[in-house]
Structure 1
Amino acid sequence: MSHPRVIVGLDGSRNSLAALRRAAKEASAREAVLDVLYVIDEAVAADPRSSRAARTLAANLADGTAREFPGLKVETVVVAGSAAMELCRHATPTDLLVMGARQEDGPLRGATVTSVLRMAPCRVLLCSDFDDNHRLAWTVAVRL
């Protein structure tokens, strides 16, 4: 089954950047559109300077990814709200949702991860980067 879109949740953390790299590889392999979804807090959205900085960061990361993966169509969406709610609201049953997860929580823990796993209408791929102790990065695929 092909996925027309690969959606990645981005917050600027190392783990979300690992998720962005993995999502780009997945989208490229599927010849799918990569949607970079940057969810900002309502307080950040209310401050024009902070909101602009978040949008600039998301656009720069998306542009860098597009350069690294020639031919990959990358779209950037910046929204304010709950990360779990917005990720799940943006996804459809045929999409692949990729997100970072913190090492210390383990692959299936943390408030955002558990909420996304409970609500996502599609397959979810969780990623981490190396942690501060140089433990290996991991990826966990969850089929709903």
Structure 2
Amino acid sequence: MWLSSGLALAQAADASPAAITYPSGSWVTNNSGTVISVAQCGTDLCARISGMVLDHPTDPAPIDWRGQLQCHDIIFQVSPHPHDNGSITWTGTVTDPRNGNRYSASVWFDAQNNLHMRGYVGLPLLGETQVWYPYTQPTPSDCLIRPAR
């Protein structure tokens, strides 16, 4: 189930898959105003587009590389990698919904519950980190967040 806000945690004492903390909730990207919902998917963490801010109420919905609405597209799927200090880095892939290009990705969460997503080609040094901020408003089922008139 995709949660639209908050932070749901499953914790235990060891580093087995059942002991991993799986953050879930929604975050807004800092560059496009897209709302991303994150939840556990098997032993991984997955993120889907759950909201897209339109500049004008009549703007068309963004289309992905397949010619479909970007709504509910999977943006990243990452696996947990616990560290000795108790933190977790999540690594896997991120997909650009505009063109379908896939990149390596690292995801981590800071003390303020901000999500850091670093997409890169080859080495993490050759990438860019975005910080996404918690989003607590509901999103419509069609993902389109229209501005007030």
TM-score (norm 1): 0.31
Structure showing greater radius of gyration is 2
More strand by share: 2
Which of the pair has the greater relative contact order for Cα pairs under 8 Å at 6+ separation? Answer: 1
More helix by share: 1
